[in-house]
Amino acid sequence: MGELRTLPELRGRTRVFADRADAGRVLARWLEPEWKGAEGGIVLAVPAGGVPVGLELARGLELPLDLIFVRKLHFPDNPEAGFGALGEGGVLLIDPDAERWLGPEEVRAVVAEERRALAERIRRLRGQRPPPRLAGRRVLLTDDGLASGASMRVAVREARARGAEQVEVAVPTASSDAARRVAREADRVFVANLRSGPPFAVADAYRNWRDLSTEEVAALLHPPRTGGA
């Protein structure tokens, strides 16, 4: 099991970050002694909510930023809840209890639909550019928070499958259970704002929170050029 680190002064609190960008800056200051300018280091953000966090984290640590694509498997009758996740490279994680409730045919249908949605997100945010090469590199994965931890566990497995030498996770907030699950698979997990639950909501760590569209994420990654004639 990997090491789990937290910030004691933020533990158990809500509304501790102004927004995702502010959370990314908090993470960058915290991780600076061990990650700033790390040789072979790269920050990989999970779209959509992980991108503004990742932008500030990569900027503060002076590391390149790229994306790692993961898609939650949503319950057909409750799109807010998930029973697993899948990754762009084929890694699949399914809650066995949910699989029994839904049945194999329903699970296959959900997985197929989420694969299509994931492929469309990749097309819109990465286009024809190949995924970053991770072989032998130090990888720092980030998102705006961990509720169940399923998506981040898939991201960790994806990074390892692509040859990453070291895989660590840094997130602004997480439930205690999710953080422990992810720490079983990552080399280290940094959670600034660790909270117990249930209930647990990632949004409760932020004073300003809203879902981000794919268009907004694309604009963050590729801001329009201004100035200079």
pLDDT in tens, 147-175: 999 999 999 999 999 999 999 999 999 99
CATH number of 3-69+128-221: 3.40.50.2020
Q: How far apart are CA 144 and CA 57, in angstroms?
A: 11
Overall average pLDDT of the 48-55 stretch: 96
* Bond before 8 cis per omega within 30 degrees: no
Name the residue type at position 94: I
In percent, the amount of the chain with pLDDT more than 90 equals: 76
Q: How far apart are CA 17 and CA 25, in angstroms?
A: 10
pLDDT in tens, 113-129: 999 999 999 999 998 88
**CA end-to-end span of the chain:** 55
Nearest to 170 by CA among 39, 15, 26: 26
Whole-model pTM: value is 0.93
Overall average pLDDT of the 38-62 stretch: 97
Same CATH topology for 3-69+128-221 and 73-124?
Answer: no
pLDDT in tens, 59-115: 999 999 999 999 999 887 776 677 889 999 999 998 888 778 788 888 888 899 999
Give the start-to-end residue ranges of the domains of the chain. 3-69+128-221, 73-124
Least confident of 29-33, 34-38, 99-103, 193-197: 99-103
Neighbours of 140 (CB within 10 A): 29
Nearest to 88 by CA among 159, 174, 186, 10: 159
pLDDT for the residue numbered 176: 96
73-124: in CATH 3.30.1310 = yes
pLDDT for the residue numbered 227: 52
Overall average pLDDT of the 183-198 stretch: 94
